[in-house]
Amino acid sequence: MSSSGVSAFRARILHFTDVPNPLTGAGIEYFPDGVLLVEQGRVKAIGNAEDMAQQGFDLMQCRHFPDHLLMPGFIDSHIHYPQTSVIASYGEQLLDWLNNFTFPTELQFSDPEFAAVAAQAFLKFLLQNGTTSAMVYTTVFAQSTQAFFAAAEKMNLRMIAGKVMMDRNAPAGLLDTPETSDADCRKLIETWHCTKRMQYALTPRFAPTSSPEQLAVTGKLYRDYPGLYLQTHLSENKQEIAWIKSLYPNARDYLDVYDHYGLLGPRSVFGHGIHLSDDEVARLAQTQSGIAFCPTSNLFLGSGLLDMARLEGAGVPVSLATDVGGGTSFSQLRTLAEAYKVLQLQGQNLHPLKGFYMATLGNARALQLDNCIGNFAQGKEADFILINLGATPLQAMRQASAKELQEELFALMTLGDEHNIARTYIMGKLVFRRADNAKGELVWLD
């Protein structure tokens, strides 16, 4: 940092100002030799290095990363912090996977010490993967939500999270009640919502594990506290949908269960939404409720293929998410690679510029966070990453033959993972760096 309190970073810089149009270049700002200025944790300016030098800026002030790509930190719109160790659990689809692997693991989070250690480890996995913000499920235990917010606050991260609400169809030790979930949520909201960089999301796990009474409590909380978020799961798996029909016989469809209790809206994010009717798609669009596209999870759990063109064509906001531990990677690069393949199987494509837009500004917009993160507009919080495009010999060889930015980005998202994340900065401060040695040693800076 210079004596003026401004930090300067010089690198290749890419960010988005709107949905990118690869043909016209609209929405894309790319500086092959750019400078990012950060003051008091926020973006002060961004520009072309040569132009800034001509205007009198001394380029010698910059930390210079000539071979790296500097981008806004990635955002993950749906992930479960207690499921870090559930990742890669063999052999089941959603309902058996929950019963056999997920629920037993989540039981461990009644212990606040255990939860605190797990929260810190989880946040480090995010940062190591270049993800600087996320919308996070905790567990049914309020102390696990408390531990998560405390860890995120300590690391100065922008996070949205909430206590899982579930009062039926799970092991007894994992159940709350409508009354206790109401009291716990109110306390957590009052302690954490809109403090520092934290926001609260009401988190009924999914309709099968909440009674109608608990969903009614959730709807009342949503109305009582303007500015809250809501996250849950929707239409992920065919057995789950059949179960919904028997649990909620009067509902028109799965989405109608949530709609009935007032849980739809632009701050609501529904995980998956793979097997939706036309009515459900229309209702999501009408209420501007979002779908979190979780390709690694949808493939791993055999849930199905998300028809993104159909949703976007109808005007439903679609964000990109890992869904760890149903998802198989914390890396949004790997998530983009699988998203591309899921769409290919349906005759659709994911342009790399659109993919990187989704992982940054697109997800910020979907989570209503684009007033503070997602790109390098002046005044935004300076959460950013430095990407090494050639982290393996194969990547280096492929990148050497790339002729333009979009080809480099496509190779990055197809071949990349956490090894490509060279550095992660939170509000202008370096928090993680992958050392440049053969072992790929990790360096944490507190």
Distance in Å from the first CA to the final CA of the chain: 17
Q: Which of 130, 178, 271, 355 binds Zn ion (CB under 5 A)?
A: 271
CA distances from 254 to 53, 82, 129, 215, 324 (A): 58, 26, 34, 13, 23
State the minimum distance, in angstroms, from the CB of residue 209 to ligand GUN. 7
The answer to whether the CB of 62 falls within 8 A of the CB of 6 is no
Rounded-to-10 torsion of CA 159, 138, 105, 142: 130
Q: How far is the CB of 108 from Zn ion (least distance, A)?
A: 18
Q: Which residues between 391 and 420 bind ligand GUN (CB under 6 A)?
A: none
Question: Is residue 297 near ligand GUN by the rule CB under 6 A?
Answer: yes
Taking CB under 5 A as the binding criterion, the range among 35-43, 123-131, 200-208, 270-278 that sits at the site for Zn ion is 270-278
Q: What is residue 324's DSSP assignment?
A: B
- Told to check if 323 binds Zn ion by CB under 5 A, we report yes
**Residue with Cβ nearer ligand GUN (240 or 370):** 240
Cβ atoms of 272 and 306 closer than 8 Å: yes
* 9, 63 contact by CB (below 8 A): yes
Report the residue count for the chain. Answer: 446
Q: Closest approach of Cβ 418 to ligand GUN, in Å?
A: 21
Query: Taking CB under 6 A as the rule, does residue 44 contact ligand GUN?
Result: no
Binder among 29, 236, 280, 338 for ligand GUN (CB under 6 A): 236
Tokens at residue 126, please?
């995010």
Ranges within 314-353 binding ligand GUN (CB under 6 A): 323, 326
* Least spacing, CB of residue 296 vs ligand GUN, in Å: 10
Contact predicate 101/107, CB 8 Å: no
d(CA 303, CA 274): 8
Q: What's the CA gap between 35 and 59, in Å, rounded?
A: 9
Choice between 207 and 391, CB closer to ligand GUN: 207
Indicate whether 325 belongs to the interface with Zn ion (CB under 5 A): no
In the chain, the largest separation of any two C-alpha atoms, in whole Å, equals 70
SS3 content of the chain, % helix, strand, coil (to 5): 40, 25, 35
d(CA 64, CA 83) in angstroms, rounded, equals 38
Question: Would you count residue 128 as binding ligand GUN (CB under 6 A)?
Answer: no
407: left (phi over 0), alpha (psi -120 to 50) or beta: alpha
Q: Does 236 bind Zn ion (CB under 5 A)?
A: no
| Residue with nearest beta carbon to ligand GUN | 326
The mark string for 183-202 relative to ligand GUN (x by CB under 6 A, - otherwise) is --------------------
Confirm if 138 and 164 have CB atoms less than 8 A apart: yes
Comparing CB distances to ligand GUN, the nearer of 149 and 270 is: 270
108: nearest Cα among 159, 153, 143: 143
Q: How far is the CB of 81 from ligand GUN (least distance, A)?
A: 11
Is residue 233 at the binding interface for ligand GUN, with CB under 6 A as the rule?
yes
Number of residues that bind ligand GUN (CB under 6 A): 11
**Considering beta carbons, is residue 7 or 296 the nearer one to ligand GUN?**
296
Span from 48-56, 94-102, 193-201, 248-256 in contact with ligand GUN (CB under 6 A)? 94-102
Binding site for Zn ion (CB under 5 A): 271, 323
Binding site for ligand GUN (CB under 6 A): 80, 94, 98, 102, 205-206, 233, 236, 297, 323, 326
